[in-house]
Structure formats: C-alpha cells, structure tokens
Amino acid sequence: MSDKALPAPPHTETEISTHDGDSDLRKLRELLFARETAQLQSLEKRLDNPVVHARDTSEVIAEALLLRAQKDDMLYIALEPLTEKLFKEALRKSPMDFVNALFPLMGPAIRQSVAETFHSMLESFHRTIELVFSWKSLRWRWEAMRTGTSFAEVVLLHTLVYRVDQIFFIHAETGLVLCHVYDEGVVIQDADMVSGMLTAIQNFARDSFAGGPESSLDSLRLGDLTILLERGSTAYLACAARGVVPPEFRERLRNTMAALQIKFSDELDSFSGEVEKFVSARGDLEDLLDVRYVDEDAPLPLWIKLMPVLILLLFIAGGGYFWHDRQQRYLAREAAQAYMEESLAQVGQEPGLLLIEIRQDSSGHWEVIYQKDPLARDPKPLLDAKGIDPKSYTLRVIPYVSYEADMVTQRVKNRITPPESVSMEFDKDGTLRLSGKASMGWILQARQEALALPGVEKVDTSGLADPRIEELKSMIALVEGTVVEFPLGKDIPVSEDVTKLARAMDTLVRIEKLAATMNVAVNLTIYGHADATGNDKRNYEISQERARTIAAMLYARGSSIPIALYGMGSEQSGGKDEVLPDFRESGARQAAARDDQSRRKVEFKVHIVQLPPDNSMLNILH
Amino acid sequence: MNTLDSQNMDANDRRRLVSKKVCMIGAFSVGKSALVERFVRSIFSDRYLSTVGVKISKKNINLNGTDLTMVLWDMEGKDDFADVHMSYLRGAMGFFTVVDGTRKETLNMALHLRNLALETAGDIPHIVLINKSDLPDWEITDERLAELEASGIRVMKTSAKTGHAVEEAFLSLAEAMTKGQ
Ligand SMILES: Nc1nc2c(ncn2[C@@H]2O[C@H](COP(=O)(O)OP(=O)(O)O)[C@@H](O)[C@H]2O)c(=O)[nH]1
Ligand SMILES: [Mg+2]
C-alpha cells in the first residue's frame, strides 16, 4: 500500500548523511533533499501509526508464520498455551457449537463402542442358548415367534432367572471340601471329587497362564453350570449356579467368604483334614443357596427393571443397525446350520443311506459320514440338489448292506428281474410277497434266488399265477366236459360227436405241450361206459373197448400222454362226476327203461402231475 | 455316590470326620492308576473325575472310629515329570511313589520325584510302592530294597493285578497320616 505522495526514485545518499550539524549544509540539504525528508517523515509517521502498522503486518504475517514453522518448533510452543486457553474459553461460551461440530466425528465412534458392547452381550446370550439347547430354548424360540419379538430379547428375559445349586467351601491348598451344601433336588456329584477337580483346574490355570500365583480364576463354566469362585486367603467358595447370577450375588459371596475366613482362621491355618470342625459353616453357606425366577408377581430388582430402558437407550444410540444386522447374521448362520443338519438328515432318510455322524469344526466345516448300500443313491448329488456347497463339507461313505425294505426290494428286483406283470411287496418281517402273473419256471427260480438275498426271510408266491395255468385249466375243463356217445353195441363214436371228440383230442395234445413248458406232466384217464342192455360181462367189455378206441385215436394224433383206461360196464358215473349216489341204485333200472344213448359214452379225466423236485409247486394248480 | 455323600453330611454332626489328600506319583506306566483303581473299587466305586492331567477318585474308610475320606490324586505323568504337575502336590497330606519292579530305571525316577514332593509338600507321610510284584522279571533286588529301608524310606511290594498288599499300603498310609492328630 505505497503512498502516492512518495513516487521518487531513490537516489544515492550515502556520502551526505555524514555532514549533519552544519546550517549551510542544512539549507543545502533542504534544497537538495526536500523530497527525501518528506519521505522520511512519512515513514516515521507510518511506523508510529498502529493502524497502518497492523495493515502492513497483515500483509506478511501468513508468510512469516510459515517461514518460522519451517525453521523450528518455537511457534508451536509459543502458541500452545494460547490456543488451549482460547479453546476452553470458546467451549465455555458456546458448548453446543462444539457438540454440533464434533458430532459427525464422534457419532461413528460412539456407535462403534455401543456395537462392541452389544456384541459381547449377544455373545453371552448365544452361549447361554447353545448351552441350554433344550426344550426350554425351543420354547423360547416359539415364544419369540409368537410374540414377534427377537429371540435374543426373549432369552434375555429368561436368562435373568438364576439358581444357586450348590456351595462348596474348599480348603485352598489341599482342595479338600470343608463343607458342602446343596439345594434340594439338585443332582450332585461327589463333593470331594468335584472340589478336587476344581482345585486341580485352578492349579492348572494358574500354572499354565501368565499371571503368577496372585491371579486366579473368577468363574468356570461346566456345561450349563457356572461355577463362581470366591477366594479367601486360605480357602475359597465355589458356587455352582445356573442362569445369570446378578452382580449383587457376587457381593454376598464375597462377604460370606470374608466372614468364613475370619470365623475359621485358626482351623484353616492349621488344617490337616479335620473337616468336622467346619460343620458350623453350613448355616452361612445355606444362606447363599438362592433361587430367583423372573415372575410377574415377584418384585424385580431395580437393575432388572431398568434393563429394558437401558437397552432401549443403547439401542437408539447404536442406531439400531447393529442389533438388526447382528441378529440377522446370527439367525442366518443358525438357519444355515439348521438347514445343513436337516439336509444331511433328509439325505440320511434315503433308502440305503444312513447318516452315521456329523461334526462341525470351529471353522464351520462339516464332516459327514454316511453308510451306503451299494444300491443306494450317492449322497453327494443329493446334497448338491439341496444346494449344499460341496466345499462346506467332507464326505465319507462306508459301504454296508441295508435291510431297509426299499433296498431289499431293489436288491431282489436286480436279481430276479421280475416281468412287468409281477408286482413286489416287502413286509417289515422280511417276507417278500410276489403277485401277478409269471411263468412257473420264473416263479421257481425267483423264489430260490430271492431267498438267498440279504434281508429276505420268506418268499410268498401265493399271489403269483402263471397265465398258462389258467389256460391249462380251461383246456382241461374243455376236455373233461367232452362226452362222446356211441351207437348201441359199437365202439365207434356216433358221427355227431366226432367233431367234439376231435376237438377234445387236439386240446389234449395242446395240454401236453403246454404242460411240458410248465414243468408238469399230464396223465389221462378215459372212462368207457355201456348201457344197461346185455349182460354185465359184455357191458364191461364194450365199455373198455370204447375207451381203448378213443385212446388209440389219441395216440394216432401224436399224443404221448400216459392213459389209464377204465371200462365201467353199465355203471353210471365216470371217475369225475361222482354225483348223487342215490341215483346209482335206481340208475340201472331207469336206464334200462329208456335205452339211453347217453349212457354209451366215454368220459375224460385229466390229471396234472407235479414233477419233482420242487414240492412247493404242489399247490399251484389248486 | 450321592447317598454316600449325604451320609457324610449327616455324619458331619456326629462322628469324627477327616479328609486327606493323597497323591500318586511315579514314572509313566508303573501302575499308579491301577493301584488306585484296585483300592477304590474294592469297596465302592471305580469312578473318577479326569481333568487337566489328574484323575481324582476317593475312598471312604473307617480307621479306629474315624471316618476318613481319602481323596486320591493320580497324576497322569509322563516320563519327564513337568513342573506344572508339581502344583498338584501342594497341600498333599501323604503320597505314594510308585515303582515298576520290572524296570530298574523307574526307581531312580521315583526317588527323584519323592524328593521333589517332599520339597513341595513338606515332610509328609509317604510310601514307596514297588509294584507289579506278580511279574517274574524282577529287576530290583532285595538288597536294594533293604538299602532303601535302611535310609528310612518305607517300601512295600504290591501288585495291582493280584491286589497283593494294596489295601495294606493304603491303610498304612492312612494310619500314618492320622497319627498324632
Ligand atoms: N502285571 C501287572 N501289571 C500291572 C500292575 N499294575 C499295573 N499294571 C499294568 O501296567 C500298565 C500301566 O498301568 P497304569 O496304572 O496305567 O500306570 P500309570 O501310568 O502309572 O498310571 C497297565 O497295562 C497295567 O495293567 C501289576 O501290579 N501287575
Ligand atoms: Mg495313570
């Protein structure tokens, strides 16, 4: 900000300044240097004027500070107390400004720390849940679902129940039980052994972890039991409790221990096993046995009542996100685990697969062992189909022979290859039931082979029919229904019956052939009959001749069926139809009266003979 | 065991009741556990609690009208008896040092451990048990045993297998522990 009154270009002035004090010189100087003098005065004025000075300083102060800061730390040292004071003053004057200014910075930090708190809280809840994986926890889950609250909240509510089961008063050095009290109905382990174990564990902890003899365990977890340890100088109290014991109980434990330590100080110091001296500790210990249920009627301690409020506050402070996220993650993890277990179990339900073992290591990797029948489906693709990540598990398959109905059925099927007409059923008791239609030969073989297979105890073929049996039966019925009549005194059939006879004989040939395929043999009996005319001897002869004629005709047609011939004379009935015995007596007379052609006839009886060796087949035809 | 324990509780009011911590020490596989099992099971139970390197079992005996509970600490020691385990000896009121009679070197180990135990637990009653007396290949001579006894060490030959002298050994230690009380 240079002054316009001082435009002068600077001249050389060095030699002049030495001649002061001389008036001529002054004049001369005035003449010569009027301009410079004005300049000097102006400068002086300027230097004395703080406003101008400040204005000038302001021009360079930033650069000056920068230069100094580069040089050394003096600037900081000089400014520090000032800044601090300044800051305090500002804070005092308008704290809200600072809060507002700092919140964006502090907010995340606070959330972070709240999140940590929640994390550890939830961890302990989850541990509780895992420990008490029981009917109770299922009920809690149900309650959470029903009320629409989060599971953790429900658990929180319930884990506020606690119960002090047992108190051990233990001599520290020897680990011997001095006194032991327990709640009624508590299943107790041997106190001496438990106490020895507790002492050993503590020794171990002390020896194994850094901290030296002064540090000691506060509590232990054994299953769902928490063991609170309260040490005195020569003895300690171990308190087995379930649930979440309030801090206030700790305090009582501490007080009791201190009281006992004083009460028994001599006995404890000189202790050499005389536990009977500590009987009077019972009362003190029994006071500590304590059960507290969360019960609507029971007055809740203040801290429990405040808990929801506290949680709410924390919740709001934490922005709610963490809880939710955590909860979701937990539920998701749990769901994944449950899904895995369920899937494994489901695959284990597959016929011929048996889930033997599942284990999950700390990294979450599963180890799965199945037993598998050679005929069962491979578990791997089944698990794949369920969307299980193949990398999440290691699978071991141990072969075995399954006796499951499905597997046995499969095994039987593979062996006996039943035709489509046969259906199979398998009973729990190991009976294989075959039904439908199949060839006799197949039935026999299937029967034998099925019986040899593991899991098959019995084979029931009563539901199986060879279709040829039906055919055989109908052909036999045709033959046996054929009656061939003869003219009086002749052994050649009446001409009307020749076609009938031919058909019967053809059928017999077919029966014979079919029987051969069925592993059965056919025998034929031909009964010849005569009418009542003439004497009996002749009647027998003629009846036998008639039968023989027919047999000869049959052989002529190429049959080789063994035939038995019966000349029945004038007797009424053939081998088969032993009908109405009453008629027999009067038969001769009636027939004589009518000269009935129908009495001069032959009849057939077909016998199916089972071939050895399989006796089981005897029933097939009947 | 529960009933036995509750009996103890009742007995608390009437009878003289004493508990003693007894330690079993010795080289690996000399028969410590076998001896404890033999002694404990011969009356009521073979149950024990196994925890960090120690098995704890107990046996109640009656000794001259005193109900004595022996809480037996069976060290699951290896050949090198780690310092960690010495803490188990703290507060011991008696101990057995067990030697395998068929392995000479286990006697040296036993004597070493005995010294350690006496350092840790003080001058308390103890017996050296030369175990497996049922086996033929005996490596510890009677002269050696006499030598030990001459130096003031109590020695007994036992067999956990046949039960020979097991009961006597435990009762003898029990007596020594309750003497002078
Ligand atoms: N023959 C015989 N074998 C014994 C005897 N005592 C122990 N054993 C065997 O020696 C082995 C080690 O015994 P154990 O009690 O486990 O030894 P620890 O390591 O000292 O506890 C086991 O196989 C026992 O069966 C004994 O008196 N006689
Ligand atoms: Mg052992």
pLDDT tens per residue across span A267-308:
999 998 999 999 999 999 998 887 665 543 444 555 665 666
Residues A415 and A450 in one domain: yes
> Would the CB of B174 count as within 6 Å of ligand 1?
no
The model's pLDDT over A554-609, given as tens digits with 9 standing for 90+, comes to 888 888 888 888 888 887 654 444 333 333 444 444 544 455 677 888 999 888 77
- The pair phi, psi for residue A315, each rounded to 5°, is -60, -50
Q: Is the pLDDT confidence value at B14 over 80?
A: no
Please report whether residue B10 resides in a domain.
Answer: no
Could you tell me the CATH number of the domain that includes residue B174? 3.40.50.300
Q: Is the pLDDT confidence value at A469 over 60?
A: yes
Query: What pLDDT is stored for residue B169 in this prediction?
Result: 96
Look at A408 and B98; give whichever has higher pLDDT: B98
The total number of structural domains in chain A stands at 5
Query: What pLDDT is stored for residue A577 in this prediction?
Result: 41
Q: What confidence category does residue A264 fall into, taking pLDDT thresholds of 50, 70 and 90?
A: very high
Please report whether residue A514 resides in a domain.
Answer: yes
The model's pLDDT over A34-61, given as tens digits with 9 standing for 90+, comes to 777 788 888 787 777 777 777 888 888 8
Q: Does the beta carbon of B59 lie under 8 angstroms from any beta carbon of chain A? A: no
- The pair phi, psi for residue A9, each rounded to 5°, is -75, 135
**Mean pLDDT taken over chain A:** 75
Residue with tokens 């959330």: A111
Q: Rounded to the nearest whole angstrom, what is the distance from the C-alpha of residue B40 to the centroid of ligand 2?
A: 14
Task: Collect all residues with Cβ–Cβ distance below 8 Å to A300 and sequence separation of at least 6.
Answer: A294
Question: CA of A233 to nearest chain B CA: how many angstroms apart?
Answer: 14
Q: Which of A18-27, A362-371, A477-486 has the highest mean pLDDT?
A: A477-486
Query: What pLDDT is stored for residue A27 in this prediction?
Result: 76
Residues A477 and A593 in one domain: yes
Q: Rounded distance, CA A503 to CA A499, Å?
A: 6
The total number of structural domains in chain B stands at 1
> Number of CB pairs < 8 Å for A and B?
105
Please report whether residue B7 resides in a domain.
Answer: no
Residues A457 and A536 in one domain: no
Please report whether residue A454 resides in a domain.
Answer: yes
Could you tell me the CATH number of the domain that includes residue A232? 3.30.450.70
Q: Does the beta carbon of A267 lie under 8 angstroms from any beta carbon of chain B? A: no
Please report whether residue B57 resides in a domain.
Answer: yes
Q: What confidence category does residue A436 fall into, taking pLDDT thresholds of 50, 70 and 90?
A: confident
Please report whether residue B6 resides in a domain.
Answer: no
- Cα–Cα nearest to A1, from A59, A48, A45: A59
* CB-nearest partner of A276 from B17, B73, B88: B17
- Cα–Cα nearest to A555, from A516, A505, A602: A505
Please report whether residue B9 resides in a domain.
Answer: no
Q: Do A279 and B13 touch (CB under 8 A)?
A: yes
Please report whether residue A79 resides in a domain.
Answer: no
A417, A435, A465 — which closes off a domain? A465
> Would the CB of B70 count as within 6 Å of ligand 1?
no
- Cα–Cα nearest to A551, from A609, A500, A508, A494: A508
Query: What pLDDT is stored for residue A475 in this prediction?
Result: 92
Task: Collect all residues with Cβ–Cβ distance below 8 Å to A207 and sequence separation of at least 6.
Answer: B83, B84, B87
The pick from B23, B25, B30 for probing ligand 1's pocket by mutation, whose C-beta has the most ligand atoms within 8 angstroms, reads B30
Residues A388 and A242 in one domain: no
Residue with tokens 């032993």: A578
Q: Rounded distance, CA A604 to CA A374, Å?
A: 56
Query: What pLDDT is stored for residue A488 in this prediction?
Result: 85
* CB-nearest partner of A275 from B1, B18, B87: B18
Span of A254-263, A590-599, B2-11, B99-108 with lowest mean pLDDT: B2-11
Please report whether residue B2 resides in a domain.
Answer: no
Please report whether residue B122 resides in a domain.
Answer: yes
Residues A233 and A287 in one domain: yes
Question: Mean pLDDT, to the nearest integer, of A160-183?
Answer: 86
Which residues in chain B are closer than 8 Å to A282, comparing Cβ atoms?
12
Q: Is the pLDDT confidence value at A149 over 70?
A: no
b or e along A316-340 (b: 16 or more beta carbons within 10 Å of the residue's beta carbon)?
eebeeebbeebbeebeeeeeeeeeb
Query: What pLDDT is stored for residue B124 in this prediction?
Result: 94
Q: Do A273 and B177 touch (CB under 8 A)?
A: yes
Q: Are A262 and B6 in contact (CB under 8 A)?
A: no
Q: Is the pLDDT confidence value at B145 over 60?
A: yes
Q: What percent of chain A has pLDDT over 70?
A: 70
- Cα–Cα nearest to A163, from A144, A146, A185: A185
Q: Is the pLDDT confidence value at A613 over 50?
A: no
Which residues in chain B are closer than 8 Å to A196, comparing Cβ atoms?
21, 49, 56, 58, 71, 73
Instruction: Specify the residue with its C-alpha closest to ligand 1, atom 8.
Output: B31
Query: What pLDDT is stored for residue A324 in this prediction?
Result: 66
Q: What percent of chain B has pLDDT over 90?
A: 38
Please report whether residue A400 resides in a domain.
Answer: no
The pick from B29, B32, B95, B128 for probing ligand 1's pocket by mutation, whose C-beta has the most ligand atoms within 8 angstroms, reads B29
Q: Does the beta carbon of A200 lie under 8 angstroms from any beta carbon of chain B? A: yes
Domain that holds residue A598: 467-621
pTM, full prediction: 0.43
Q: Are A260 and A284 in contact (CB under 8 A)?
A: yes
Task: Collect all residues with Cβ–Cβ distance below 8 Å to A452 and sequence separation of at least 6.
Answer: none
Residues A208 and A144 in one domain: yes
Look at A115 and A521; give whichever has higher pLDDT: A521
Query: What pLDDT is stored for residue A424 in this prediction?
Result: 85
Could you tell me the CATH number of the domain that includes residue A430? 3.30.1340
Helix (H, G, I), strand (E, B) or coil at B180: coil
Residues A357 and A461 in one domain: no
> Would the CB of B157 count as within 6 Å of ligand 1?
no
Which residues in chain A are closer than 8 Å to B3, comparing Cβ atoms?
none
Query: What pLDDT is stored for residue A478 in this prediction?
Result: 92
Query: What pLDDT is stored for residue A298 in this prediction?
Result: 44
Look at A87 and B69; give whichever has higher pLDDT: B69
Q: Rounded to the nearest whole angstrom, what is the distance from the C-alpha of residue B76 to the centroid of ligand 2?
A: 5
Question: CA of B35 to nearest chain A CA: how many angstroms apart?
Answer: 18
Query: What pLDDT is stored for residue A296 in this prediction?
Result: 39
Residues A430 and A487 in one domain: no
Please report whether residue B43 resides in a domain.
Answer: yes
Q: What confidence category does residue A17 fall into, taking pLDDT thresholds of 50, 70 and 90?
A: very low
Query: What pLDDT is stored for residue B155 in this prediction?
Result: 95
Residues A380 and A432 in one domain: no
Query: What pLDDT is stored for residue B165 in this prediction?
Result: 93
Q: Rounded to the nearest whole angstrom, what is the distance from the C-alpha of residue B32 to the centroid of ligand 1?
A: 7
Q: β-strands A225-231, A235-243: how paired?
A: antiparallel
Helix (H, G, I), strand (E, B) or coil at B134: coil
Query: What pLDDT is stored for residue A399 in this prediction?
Result: 79
Span of A316-325, A411-420, B171-180 with lowest mean pLDDT: A316-325
Around ion ligand 2, residues with a beta carbon closer than 5 Å are B 32-33
Give residue A614's region: left, alpha or beta (phi > 0; psi -120 to 50): beta
Helix (H, G, I), strand (E, B) or coil at A577: coil
Residues A274 and A182 in one domain: yes
Residues A339 and A412 in one domain: no
Query: What pLDDT is stored for residue A72 in this prediction?
Result: 81
Q: What confidence category does residue A1 fall into, taking pLDDT thresholds of 50, 70 and 90?
A: very low
Q: Is the pLDDT confidence value at A107 over 70?
A: no
The model's pLDDT over A318-338, given as tens digits with 9 standing for 90+, comes to 665 666 676 777 777 777 888
Query: What pLDDT is stored for residue B6 in this prediction?
Result: 40
Query: What pLDDT is stored for residue A579 in this prediction?
Result: 36
Please report whether residue A96 resides in a domain.
Answer: no
Instruction: Specify the residue with its C-alpha closest to ligand 1, atom 2.
Output: B132
* Mutate which: B5, B10, B73, vs A, most A CBs within 10 A: B5
A48, A63, A84 — which closes off a domain? A48
Domain that holds residue B168: 15-178
Q: Is the pLDDT confidence value at A217 over 70?
A: no
Residues A134 and A200 in one domain: yes
> Would the CB of B29 count as within 6 Å of ligand 1?
yes
- The pair phi, psi for residue B60, each rounded to 5°, is -95, 130
Burial of A578 (0-12, 13-18, 19+ CB in 10 A): exposed
Q: Is the pLDDT confidence value at B150 over 50?
A: yes
Q: Rounded distance, CA A118 to CA A322, Å?
A: 8
